[in-house]
Amino acid sequence: MTFLHSALLVFKKPLLLLQSTSASFPELAGIFELFKRAILKRHSSEFYGAKTAELLKGIDKDCAEVLKSSFKEFYEVTLEYIDKRYRPEKHPANVAWILLRNRKAKYDEVKEMAKQIDPQVAMADELFDEVSALNGILQNIPDETFSEDGPETKRMKLLSENDSLPLIYKLGGIVFSIPVSNAFVERVFSPVSSQWRRERNRLNEATAKSLLQVRVNLDFSCSKMHGLISKDQKLLKQIVGGEKYL
């Protein structure tokens, strides 16, 4: 149990990252690489936990060797499972740039990724111009803002709010729509049953879908949500309209 407590701590961080609602496909490779590296290091160093090492010193030597062998097998089975289930060669390559963690995206990497998910975009000359424009925008962001804004904020500011980068926006839409795990999807089932129940059986599908999208995807405070809604005149008209009941 002491060994498992130590070993499973290595599993905790990647599992939480994979189950996070903000986890994205470009981050997947980094999560698995760090996890695999941690297991490999423990395996090669024969590290089974500090407390486990002390406990092994207090038991029969032959028994201790048998336990060490089983601990080592645990690491080996874990590594085999990672290699079997995580197949990076089947995933689009060169996707890390789209996280916008650096101030420069390389055209060759963007084109290589585009070849795998949208060959037509890869062959468009405009893609080179858009990558150059993106780099110019990234270079002009103040250091403080660039370091404070997370990947999601940067994408929202640079891609969804910039009409001059339609091809890069399209590539981003494809990549970020690839699910990292099914944990996020499974969380939706419970809200579905609470929103669409016997007492609300006249709720149409579009309204139920909208309610779930807001509940699952938005974590704004009440005051922030009020500020966003009050500025959207089209949305305000839809709120007071009767179409949602049809």
Do 32 and 52 belong together in one domain? yes
Distance CA 158, CA 86 (A): 31
Per 3-state DSSP, the chain is made up of helix, strand and coil in percentages (nearest 5) of: 75, 0, 25
Stronger pLDDT, 8 or 195, i.e. the higher one: 8
- Count other Cβ atoms within 10 Å, centred on residue 85: 8
Hey, is 24 helix, strand or coil? coil
Confirm if 218 and 225 have CB atoms less than 8 A apart.
yes
Do 78 and 152 belong together in one domain? no
* Whether residue 145 has pLDDT greater than 80: no
* Whether residue 161 has pLDDT greater than 70: no
Do 167 and 214 belong together in one domain? no
Do 188 and 172 belong together in one domain? no
Stronger pLDDT, 107 or 148, i.e. the higher one: 107
- Domain C-terminal end among 59, 90, 121: 90
Per-residue pLDDT tens over the stretch 44-99? 998 988 888 888 888 888 888 898 899 999 999 999 988 888 777 677 777 778 77
Global confidence as pTM? 0.61
Do 38 and 112 belong together in one domain? no
Do 102 and 127 belong together in one domain? yes
- Domain C-terminal end among 158, 176, 194: 176
What's residue 129's pLDDT? 92
Do 13 and 83 belong together in one domain? yes
Confirm if 163 and 105 have CB atoms less than 8 A apart.
no
Domain count, the chain: 3
* Whether residue 2 has pLDDT greater than 70: yes
Do 71 and 27 belong together in one domain? yes
* Whether residue 7 has pLDDT greater than 70: yes
How many angstroms separate the Cα of 205 from the Cα of each of 196, 200, 208? Answer: 9, 11, 5
Do 164 and 217 belong together in one domain? no
| Structural domain harbouring 72 | 2-90
Q: Which amino acid is at 33?
A: E
What's residue 26's pLDDT? 77
What's residue 126's pLDDT? 92
Per-residue pLDDT tens over the stretch 24-34? 777 777 888 88
Do 162 and 106 belong together in one domain? yes
Do 51 and 102 belong together in one domain? no
Stronger pLDDT, 43 or 102, i.e. the higher one: 43
Confirm if 138 and 103 have CB atoms less than 8 A apart.
yes
Stronger pLDDT, 231 or 167, i.e. the higher one: 167
Q: For residue 45, what are its two tokens? A: 């160093």
Confirm if 106 and 114 have CB atoms less than 8 A apart.
no
What's residue 160's pLDDT? 62
Confirm if 36 and 199 have CB atoms less than 8 A apart.
no
* % of residues, the chain, pLDDT over 90: 12
Distance CA 22, CA 155 (A): 13
State the average pLDDT over residues 125-137: 89
- Domain C-terminal end among 90, 118, 139: 90
Per-residue pLDDT tens over the stretch 198-221? 766 677 777 777 777 777 766 777
- Count other Cβ atoms within 10 Å, centred on residue 38: 15
The number of CA neighbours under 13 Å toward the Cβ of 128 is 4
Residue 180 is given by DSSP the state: S
What's residue 102's pLDDT? 81
The mean pLDDT of the chain is 81
How many angstroms separate the Cα of 218 from the Cα of each of 17, 21, 221, 222? Answer: 18, 10, 9, 11
